[in-house]
Amino acid sequence: MAELEVRVQQGQDIRRLLARLRELEDGKEIRKRLRRELKESAKPMVPAVQRAVLALPSKGQSARAGRPSLRARVARATQIRVRASGTRPGVTVWINPRRMPEGQKNLPAYMEGIRPFHRWRHPVFGDEDVFVQQPPKPFFYRAVRPLQDEVSRAGTRIINDIQREIEGR
């Protein structure tokens, strides 16, 4: 399964802060607040990705057949994940392949054209004898790149605010 994701990490800063929070009586509450605020800081990336994927060109075949479009499925699978522990703590905006229908879990990677999913071949309307190769239409990284620095600054500000609050006790 391929995952499209962008990480905004302040790994060492988060690890140090969490170590301090374990020592505090109300550390669990502050940790919850940290996760909530970090998630909130990355929220603008989700609609940006959703708008970008929904804006991709389409012939509307699924809509006419009464099926949800592939673009809409990819948009619904876009999520934020906050990890406050482990080897890679940080905020991740990603397209969760487990939220894609069976048989379409790698579709976002094919749409983006990332290796090894850069050659998107599929049958024409389910006809297993006729295949076409479709060019990728990158959308994910173009949508999040302009927001990445802003989200990173917000994450650093959140971590620093909580550290100052703890030190001020």
SS3 for 79-134 is EEEEECCCCCCEEEEEECHHHCCCCCCCHHHHHHCCCCCCCEEEEECCEEEEEEEE
Return the sign of the alpha-carbon dihedral for residues 111, 117, 120, 122.
Answer: negative
- What's the pLDDT at 90? 83
pLDDT per position as a tens digit, 110-136 = 999 988 888 888 888 878 899 999 889
pLDDT at 93 over 80: yes
- What's the pLDDT at 68? 75
Q: Look up the domain containing 122 and give its range.
A: 4-167
pLDDT at 62 over 70: no
Please give the tally of structural domains in the chain.
1
pLDDT at 78 over 90: yes
pLDDT at 1 over 60: no
Kind of pairing between the strands at 78-83 and 4-8: unpaired
Average pLDDT over residues 6-12: 68
> Which residue type occupies 132?
V
Enumerate the β-bridge partners of residue 127: 124
Confidence class for position 149, pLDDT limits 50, 70, 90: very high
- What's the pLDDT at 8? 66
pTM of the model: 0.82
**CA proximity to 89, closest of 144, 157, 16, 147:** 16
More confident residue, 70 or 168: 70
Can you give the length of the chain in residues? 169
**CA proximity to 50, closest of 144, 122, 115:** 144
- What's the pLDDT at 129? 92
